[in-house]
């Protein structure tokens, strides 16, 4: 009888431990408040845990997690935004198979942060996008599709977002040319127009993309660029 009771208690304890292990993120998310100081404290706890533990694939939990992180990223506190990006980065490293598709659904939040006033935020957002592009069941092609959307990425009203998108394109041309060349060819007219952008950094970044395209693609690409008749002869 005592042996049976002991086995029963062991089973209950194991069940409770499994429940606690799978619900740890839910418990922490419930503590999120609007107070920046509290967010920073909680953020450090979440970052520590999420760097070592898998995120449960339960859709509601993942969406709740990304709702909270999106709120942190779009807030006005620089330090909270940074800790939010660090958490998203760590979570993607430990649970890529769970989170990648959800991150794509929320990609607009990262794209907006590519236009942040703080250099560190911009760089972290761009790096997270790059990381996302090379996960299993993902690709640079998928990310470029999002950056080509109307009013976003290459067409964003914020010039810093345009520059970030162009720099991502340059990375893809360098690392995955064969994959992205069809999209890059379709982007040629847009890249040519961006060489006339009011902002000098956008002009430089788009020019660099065209130069890379010509270097990697050779004469056929040079001919396509010339045929757009958007660039003047001097350019």
- On whether both 35 and 128 belong to a single domain, the answer is yes
Phi, psi of 74 (to 5 degrees): -95, 0
CA distance 189 to 228: 6
Q: HSE on the CB side for 235, CA within 13 Å?
A: 20
Indicate the pLDDT class of residue 23, thresholds 50, 70 and 90. confident
Q: In this predicted model, what pLDDT tens digit does every residue of 149-197 receive, in sequence order?
A: 999 999 999 999 999 999 999 999 999 999 999 999 999 999 999 999 9
- On whether both 76 and 126 belong to a single domain, the answer is yes
The torsion angle over the Cα atoms of residues 75, 79, 85 and 86, rounded to 10 degrees, is -150
Q: In this predicted model, what pLDDT tens digit does every residue of 124-148 receive, in sequence order?
A: 999 999 999 999 888 999 999 999 9
- On whether both 16 and 116 belong to a single domain, the answer is yes
**Does the structure show a pLDDT above 80 at 67?**
yes
Could you tell me the pTM of the whole model?
A: 0.86
**Among residues 90, 106, 138, which one ends one of the domains?**
138
CA distance 18 to 195: 57
Task: Measure Cα distances from 121 to 15, 61, 117, 199 in Å.
Answer: 41, 26, 8, 21
The answer to whether the beta carbons of residues 147 and 164 sit under 8 Å apart is no
**Among residues 138, 156, 173, which one ends one of the domains?**
138
Percent of the chain with pLDDT over 70: 88
Domain limits at 94? Answer: 1-138
- On whether both 109 and 192 belong to a single domain, the answer is no
Q: Which residue has 């049976």 as its token pair?
A: 4
pLDDT, residue 122, reads: 98
Three-point CA angle 200, 182, 97, nearest 5°:
95
**Does the structure show a pLDDT above 60 at 31?**
yes
**Among residues 117, 138, 159, which one ends one of the domains?**
138
* Residue among 207, 176, 204, 213 nearest 191 (CA): 207
- On whether both 104 and 130 belong to a single domain, the answer is yes
* Residue among 186, 173, 189, 187 nearest 228 (CA): 189
pLDDT, residue 12, reads: 40
- On whether both 81 and 170 belong to a single domain, the answer is no
- On whether both 160 and 102 belong to a single domain, the answer is no
Query: How many domains are there within the chain?
Result: 2
- On whether both 4 and 20 belong to a single domain, the answer is yes
CATH number at residue 91: 1.25.10.10
């Amino acid at each position: 009888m005592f042996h049976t009771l002991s086995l029963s208690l062991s089973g209950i304890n194991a069940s409770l431990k499994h429940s606690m292990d799978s619900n740890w993120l839910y418990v922490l998310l419930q503590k999120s408040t609007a107070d920046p100081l509290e967010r920073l404290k909680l953020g450090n706890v979440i970052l520590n845990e999420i760097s070592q533990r898998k995120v449960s694939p339960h859709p509601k939990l993942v969406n709740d997690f990304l709702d909270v992180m999106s709120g942190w990223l779009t807030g006005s506190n620089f330090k909270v935004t940074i800790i939010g990006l660090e958490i998203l980065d760590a979570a993607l490293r430990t649970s890529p198979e769970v989170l990648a598709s959800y991150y794509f659904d929320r990609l607009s939040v990262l794209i907006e942060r590519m236009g942040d006033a703080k250099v560190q935020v911009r760089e972290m957002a761009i790096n997270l996008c790059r990381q996302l592009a090379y996960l299993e069941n993902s690709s640079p092609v998928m990310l470029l599709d999002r950056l080509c959307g109307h009013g976003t990425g290459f067409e964003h009203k914020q010039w810093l977002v345009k520059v970030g998108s162009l720099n991502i394109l340059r990375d893809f041309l360098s690392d995955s040319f064969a994959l992205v060349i069809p999209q890059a060819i379709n982007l040629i007219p847009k890249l040519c127009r961006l060489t006339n952008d009011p902002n000098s950094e956008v002009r430089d970044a788009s020019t660099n993309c065209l130069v890379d395209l010509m270097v990697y693609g050779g004469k056929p690409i040079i001919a396509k660029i010339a045929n757009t008749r958007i660039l003047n002869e001097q350019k």
